[in-house]
Structure 1
C-alpha cells in the first residue's frame, strides 16, 4: 500500500512515477525499500491511466455494503430483542469507558 501511495502522490504532483521517484518518496519518510514490490507495482500500472483506475475502483466500491454489523443485527432483530441488544451495547460501552481507570490516551 505504501508503494501505491507514493506512486499516487507522484502522479498527483504531476511527476512521472518511476522507480527512482518512488524510492525517493519512501526514503524521505524512512521506509525501507523492497525493489521487487516497486517493480511489480510499476509493471502492473504501466500504460494505465490513474484517473481511469480510480474511477473503476469507485464503481467497485459502490457495490460493497457499507452498513456495519449492528445495522444487520437491528434489521434481523425484532421488538424486545432489539431493545435487549441496545441495552447490552450500552453496557459494553460503559464498561469500555471504565477500562481507562481515569487515564486518557493523551494524559
Structure 2
C-alpha cells in the first residue's frame, strides 16, 4: 500500500487542539473519504479517541491526524489546513489526487 505522507498544517493542528480541549478529548483528528458529495467523494472530519491498528498517523505540534488505509488511497500526499476567510472558517484539504472539486471545498472527484 502507498504510504505517501500527509501533512497537517500548524494552523489546523492548533484548531484541533482547541476543539479537543473544549470537548475534553485527545487531540486526534480523523479524516476519511466517503462516497457522495457534489463531485463523487467528500471529506469527513471528526475527533478520534485513538488511532486504529492500520491507520496512517501524522503528528504536528503534538496533534495527530489519522487516516484509514482505504481513505488514504484517495488523499495520499494531501495537506490538511485550517483557513479563516470572510466566508467563514473551515478545514481544507489540498489534494493533489483530485481531478476536480466543487465550490464547497469538501467534495472532489478522482
Q: Same fold (TM over 0.5)?
A: no
Q: Which has the higher helix share?
A: 1
Measured against the shorter chain, the TM-score band is: under 0.3
**TM-score, structure 1 length as denominator?**
0.23
Larger radius of gyration: 1
Q: Which has the higher strand share?
A: 2
